[in-house]
Amino acid sequence: MNPKLLAAGILLTALGILVNPQVSGTLLYIAGRAPPVKDCWVTDAIPDHNYNGDGLGIGYWGARHRAYITFRLKDLYGEVDPENITGVELQLYGKALFPAKARVYYVVENWDENTITWSNQPGIGVSHFTYGGKSYDISLLGSLDNVPMEEGWFSIPFSPEGVALVKHHLSQGRNLRIVIKGQESPPDSYFWAEDREYKRGAYQPMLVLIYEPEELRGRFWINGQEILGEDQTLILASNTLNFKFVETSGKAETVTVTWTGTRGGSISLTRQPNGEWTGTATLPDGSYTVTLNAQDRYGQTFALSIALTQAGTTQTLASPALILSGAALMILAIVRRE
């Protein structure tokens, strides 16, 4: 009787693996913009008048002028890891009418934008806090020595101590209250900025958090076998491929697996409650390049590719045998003879 050859299944072997992940370079991102929940200008020109909705004036121009702003950081709580914040800026839209400098100070007491005046304004405070195992006592958060004299957006950078205070407040979901001061004695040194009421907030002050996200990396499995190195042999006894991806750093927003070769296709993996990304696809017999692509909310990417080819499923041998490929023990075929 002619021999009947029974294949053990569709067996795939890894021909080559791209083990270096394709990760974007180290970049800084704007992780969050916190708009003000209240802002107001005060001046000792008319010390008992409330100027809410009249823009923001800072410095000296025949009288002293200050601007108070409160930011609600809890709106960003949970969206940004404070540990990865590398910088903070206060962005304003306006310009200087005379050479001017800006100083941002911490305010402890609460205030109401509809009733605050020069006469009842809260004083500059000192924040006593501990963050990252270090104790701080600060009042000056940031400064800019030359406010631009051309109208537009400009930024007041925070000091490292000011950044630490923002990280501390963000980690606790607390509001940040500040006052912007300039030179407060002759000669004239004055600048203005738009407030949150102007044009429905289109030019309102913004507290900008500069963020260096964790590098996106992870581990990739096919049918329970982790993709590790170029000389790896992958033993797959089925056309049905079960994919799994787990981040080791960073947080993916989308994960897809694509394949090209005998037939092309793709699948979007789904994040499971345990944090793993999984998906299943069945590929026709043939040879393929399978690529995993993960991307986070900042555009960072991580990719791994593996070349798969179908091993021989039938062979004529003198007797039943297992053919093994070196130490990798890749099963090429199981042959039976009747």
CATH number at residue 151: 2.60.120
User: What is the model's pTM?
Assistant: 0.64
Phi, psi of 41 (to 5 degrees): -105, 140
Tell me how far apart the alpha carbons of residues 131 and 168 are, in angstroms, rounded to a whole number: 6
Confidence at residue 17, expressed as pLDDT on a 0 to 100 scale? 30
Residues 176 and 278 in one domain: no
Cα angle at 334 between 330 and 337, to 5 degrees?
A: 160
Q: Looking at residue 4, what is its pLDDT?
A: 22
Domain range enclosing 136: 29-211
Contacts of the segment 218-225: beta carbons below 8 A, 24+ positions apart: 218/245, 218/246, 218/247, 218/248, 218/249, 218/250, 218/252, 218/294, 218/302, 219/245, 219/246, 219/248, 220/244, 220/245, 220/292, 220/304, 221/245, 222/290, 222/306
| pLDDT(236) > 80 | no
149 part of a folded domain: yes
Token pair in block for residue 329: 């023990």
Strands annotated E in 272-328: 277-282, 288-295, 301-310, 321-322
Residues 254 and 179 in one domain: no
Q: What value does the mean pLDDT of the chain take? A: 81
Asked if 296 and 271 touch (Cβ cutoff 8 Å), the reply is: no
pLDDT in tens, 34-85: 889 999 999 999 999 999 999 999 999 999 999 999 998 877 766 677 888 8
Residues 155 and 300 in one domain: no
pLDDT for position 26: 41
Cα–Cα distance measured from residue 83 to residue 232, given in angstroms and rounded to the nearest whole number: 37
Same domain? For 193 and 235 the reply is no
Whether residues 93 and 136 share a domain: the answer is yes
Q: How confident is the model at residue 235 (pLDDT cuts 50, 70, 90)?
A: confident
Assess whether 201 and 222 both reside in one domain: no
> Which of 91-105, 175-189, 223-237, 291-305 shows the lowest per-residue confidence on average (mean pLDDT)?
223-237
Mark whether 78 and 195 lie in a shared domain. yes
Is 262 found in the same domain as 243?
A: yes
Q: Total structural domains in the chain?
A: 2
Same domain membership, residue 323 and residue 257? yes
- pLDDT tens sequence across 100-140: 999 999 999 999 999 999 999 999 999 999 999 999 999 99
What's the pLDDT score for residue 232?
65
**Do 181 and 232 share a structural domain?**
no
Tens digits of residue pLDDT in 4-31? 222 222 333 333 333 333 333 344 556 5
